[in-house]
Structure 1
Amino acid sequence: MRADGNGSKDFPWWLVALGAIGLVLAVVIAASDIYSQVFSTVVRGARITVFVTLVGFALASLLGLVIALMGLSGSLALRQIARFYVEVIRGVPILVLLFYIAFVGAPGLVWLINAVTAPLQQAGLMEEILVRDLSLLWRAVLALMIGYSAFIAEVFRAGILAVDEGQIEAAEALGLNRWQRFRLIVFPQAIRTILPPLGNDFVAMVKDSSLVSVLGVADITQMGKVYAAGSFRFFETYSIVAYIYLVLTVGLSLLLRRLERRMRRAGGDAS
């Protein structure tokens, strides 16, 4: 609960209302044969949705951190490369990037790998890689990783810059090297600033993972699309699809808020 300007508690009535609606829908799904059938079909794609989100976000976070550190480095060339990457990737819609990576980037990557490993292929130590060897699932993960890494890089950069410069100078005076200063001083403080927007990006990726359905990847949206096309039960199908995504995103949002409160309390106790 959040305190308002008068010091009173803001009870989460929105969560109570949302929970009541979710409970009613769960009862309807359990009691209705039609909704049960739709749910059992669509929910099969949840594993793919969760996989794409978790792997894509983990890789995007790692790449975003690298880009952020490049943007804060003392090298002019690295800073310009990082800024170029962020501005270009942020300017391309995720759906366009998904198509580009799937049908242009993936063949280019396969060609590059084959060109580099040509001597090994000629020696019989490895076989030539074909474009079809890179599945559409991994092309989708790669596209989400690249697309979100630019936004996450800016989140990391802002969080790192928010750390008091005096603490970094004090750590430098104690003889800590650049990596030690980042690991022991900068990152533990920056993560408290980074976590809320990073959590928002995570929830957004859960929703944007539905875009992989345009490649035929069997996620929740694709399973719903196929079922609706065959049964013509569009209302029931997409109501279930929306319900599943709401359960995932609201559940994640609540977990992230709980984690944020714990980190704030831990930071207050440490100070």
Structure 2
Amino acid sequence: MNYSWNWGVLFEQTGIGSELYIHWMITGLGWLLLIGSIAWAIAMVIGTIFGIMRTLPNKTARAIGTTYVTFFRNIPLLVQLFFWFYIAPGWLTPSIQEWWYKDLSPNTSAMLSASIGLGLFTAARIVEQVRTGIESLPKGQINAAYALGFSIPQAYKEVLLPQAFRIILPPLSSELTNCFKNASVASLVGVMELISQTKTISEYTQNSLEIYTYATIIYLVFNLSLIAIMGLIERKLRVPGLIAGSQK
């Protein structure tokens, strides 16, 4: 194999002004972080709400939560992203459509569509984790809260959720890293995130091995950093006697 290695390719000129290829990689990483962060915020809010609904005594609330999980977990992520990018904007009011198509840049509108789709997809997984965390608590917890005069919202806010989230921190760590890794699929709806920029640089330079190696290292370092941070939070918040707690 007669291949000319060039590990300094990221520091070469792109031919567009004074930009270097590393600037494209940094821009792609920025879009990736933005998509992942927005999607994670959506997932945590919606996942928590529907996770609570799945544990309420009200049958209608439980049915709504179950329907959400069943729907979003059984449709491929890519299909959902295509829906939010190609179909959903057509359902907006004319004024919002004008803003969406004319005022927003194509990359920004694609980023928002990808963030919404990824957030709702990830939320369906968090619903189950929140439900599992709440149901793993002893029944005496909720009964004691009612005995103290707490309403249902107060019981969840003050008693159940603080303990449940400590229990589910390890699986939440996995979902967090998955959320940012799945953000790479946004390149298929036009977002110039890290994978898309990597492909572009590879085509421009023909140094595919080096470029994809750098992208792999970026993903690896970023996700390992997330895992380390979540591990630190888990150790700080663990409760002795619970699933995620120390037995000491």
Same fold per superposition (TM over 0.5): yes
Instruction: Give the secondary-structure state (helix, strand or coil) at the position aligned to 1:154.
Output: helix
Q: 2:170 aligns with which of 190, 196, 200?
A: 196
Asked if residue 44 in structure 1 is aligned to residue 27 in structure 2, the reply is yes
SS at match of 1:211: helix
Choose which of 255, 258, 263 in structure 1 pairs with 2:229.
255
Determine if contact 1:39/1:240 at 8 Å carries over to the other structure. no
Q: Which residue of 2 aligns with 1:169?
A: 143
Aligned ranges for residues 1-271 of structure 1 at < 5 Å? 32-37=7-12, 38-108=21-91, 110=92, 113-114=93-94, 127=95, 129-130=97-98, 132=101, 135-264=109-238
Decide whether the 8 Å contact of 1:159 with 1:194 is kept in 2. yes
**Is residue 31–residue 193 contact of structure 2 (8 Å, CA) maintained in 1?**
yes
- 1:133-181 deviations in Å (ceiling 9; x for gaps): 5711100111001111100110111111111110211111111111211
Query: In 1, Cα distance between the equivalents of 2:172 and 2:89?
Result: 28
Shift of 1:77: 2.2
Distance 1:101 1:128, change over 3 A: closer
Question: Is contact 2:133–2:164 with CA below 8 Å preserved after alignment?
Answer: yes
Answer with 230-239 or 34-43: which moved more: 34-43
Task: State the Cα distance separating 1:129 from its structure 2 match.
Answer: 2.9
Residue type matched to 2:182 in 1? Answer: D
Give the aligned residue type for 2:49: V
Q: State the match for 1:121 in structure 2.
A: none
- Secondary structure of 1:191's aligned partner: helix
Q: Unaligned stretches of 5+ in structure 2?
A: 1-5, 13-20
Across the aligned residues of Structure 1 and Structure 2, the Cα RMSD in angstroms comes to 2.2
Q: Deviations over 1:100-120 (max 9, x none)?
A: 221122322x1xx45xxxxxx
| Counterpart AA for 2:110 | L
Counterparts in 2 of 1:237 and 1:244: CA distance versus 1, 3 Å: same
Separation (CA, whole Å) in 2 of partners of 1:145 and 1:265: 29
Question: Could you tell me how far apart the structure 1 residues matched to 2:86 and 2:96 are?
Answer: 19
Unaligned runs of 5+ in 1: 1-30, 115-126
Aligned residues: 225
* Structure with greater Cα Rg: 1
Letter matched to residue 30 of structure 2 = R
Please list the CA deviations of residues 10-64 of structure 1 after superposition, one character each: whole Å capped at 9, or x if unmatched. Answer: xxxxxxxxxxxxxxxxxxxxx9432444444312211111111111101111011
Secondary structure, aligned partner of 2:201: helix
Distance (whole Å) between structure 2 residues aligned to residue 239 and residue 40 of structure 1: 17
Structure 2 partner of 1:25: none
Q: Give the residue type in structure 2 aligned to 1:250.
A: L
Length-normalised TM-score, structure 2: 0.83
State which drifts further: 130-139 or 49-58. Answer: 130-139
TM-aligned CA distance change 1:128 to 1:180, over 3 Å: closer
SS, match of residue 238 in structure 2: helix
Contact 1:35 1:236 in 2 (8 A): no
Query: Residue by residue, what CA displacement relative to the aligned partner does 1:183-212 show, whole Å, maximum 9, x if unpaired?
Result: 111111111112111111000111111110
Which ranges of 4 or more aligned residues in structure 1 deviate by more than 6 Å?
Answer: 265-269
Q: TM-score, normalised by structure 1?
A: 0.77
Q: Which has the higher helix share?
A: 1
State the alpha-carbon separation in 1 of the partners of residues 96 and 118 from structure 2: 27
User: 1:78 offset after TM fit, Å?
Assistant: 2.2
CA contact (8 A) 1:56 1:145 kept: yes
